[in-house]
Amino acid sequence: MSKHLVYVGIGSNIEAEKYIRLAIKYLHHSFGPHCDLQLSPVYKTQAIGFDGNDFFNLVASFMTELSALEVALKLKEIEQQNGRCHNQEKFSARTLDIDLLLYDQAIINDGNISIPRDEIEKYAFVLSPLADLAPDLIHPVSGQNMAQMWLQLKNKAHAGSLQRITFNW
């Protein structure tokens, strides 16, 4: 089977340090010790769309033989194992949020998953760590690399609340 390079966004604003660490542990466990897990720096940002604790966000990349849908389902399982309730409002506090952002250069919108995630182009807390991790990676729709996309987005108002932090792994 061939291996696929995936990028996932990870966020938490309930016991954020604990759940970010658990997310990485679960990714290692779920996708194997040889998945070549890479991590961006961690950022702190204000909650968007509701009043709540600040979020910690980062992006991880890894290799997998699973399909995009299988990866997305595995990520939802990890969220649930870490106390995430999926019947909450979209903009609400959460222990763990893990979103499949990119799957190779695939463009998928089949009703089950949407790849690439549109959050990449909308939110600094997604694009900034993605650009840190893979600045030369080409977005499969826009054709721009992540560094170029970040330069365009960072001047928007919500990028100002983004703060790179030292995370104690």
What would the pLDDT profile of 111-146 be if each residue is shown by its tens digit?
Answer: 889 999 999 999 999 999 999 999 999 999 999 999
CATH 3.40.50.300 fits 4-117, yes or no: no
| CB of 147 closer than 8 Å to CB of 120 | no
Tokens of 109: 């919108």
- What global pTM score does this model have? 0.92
For 14-42, the pLDDT digits (tens) are 999 999 999 999 999 999 888 999 999 99
- Residue 159 has φ and ψ, to the nearest 5°, of -70, -20
